[in-house]
Amino acid sequence: MVSTTKKQRAGRIFAPALIILVLVALIPSLAPAQGCEVPLFVQQNLTGANLMLLVDNSLSMNAATYHVGYDPGTAYSGRFNTESTYYVNTDGWRTPRNFNWTWPSTPSAYLVNSDNGQNGLYSGNYLNWIFEHATDEQRDEIPRVTRIQVLKTVLSDLIYRSSRLRIGLTVFYPHG
């Protein structure tokens, strides 16, 4: 039979050894986590991850996309009011005269409307750049899409490439 003294000594040795063992086991989990550049659902090879998209379909999405040579921070001189928005109801070649019959009939630029019968929106400042400051080459290279058309292309590409995702969609402005 073991005396009480030996049990106490064994307990004094066993308890610290157990604590050290537990701490050693926990050390890897105490290390700082490394950054992950790959989404966890891809890294873990899961299927059916959820993705919620909030999409802006407000009126501003009918605005034309800008040419790379245009600087929205610059006020361009010209006939168009820089604070106004101008509407284009059909795709086609336009001149300043299409916006005011007293204005010149040259130069011309291809302007676009938006989707679903919506007018394409052009700021007066952008039209001043197009008709007064852009070169002929720049006018020929004006993007022929609106923001909503770009958004639709991007979303379609995302959806068709992401067969393992469950995608939800909500709109920013339902009366857009």
| Model confidence pLDDT, tens digit, residues 116-156 | 889 999 999 999 999 999 999 999 999 999 999 999 998 88
SS3 at position 50:
strand
Contact criterion met (CB below 8 Å) for 56 and 97: no
pLDDT attached to residue 99: 97
Per-chain mean pLDDT for the chain: 82
Quick one: CA torsion of 100, 67, 60, 91, rounded to 10 degrees? 50
Domain count, the chain: 1
What sign does the CA torsion over 160, 162, 167, 173 have? negative
For residue 154, being part of any structural domain is answered with no
Structural Rg of the chain based on CA atoms: 32
For residue 76, being part of any structural domain is answered with yes
pLDDT one-digit tens code per residue, 151-172: 999 888 888 887 778 888 887 7
SS3 at position 54:
strand
Distance of CA 90 to the CA centre of its chain: 27
* Domain containing residue 132: 64-145
Residue 35 has pLDDT above 70, yes or no: no
Residue 86: band (very low, low, confident or very high) from pLDDT cuts 50, 70, 90: very high
For residue 44, being part of any structural domain is answered with no
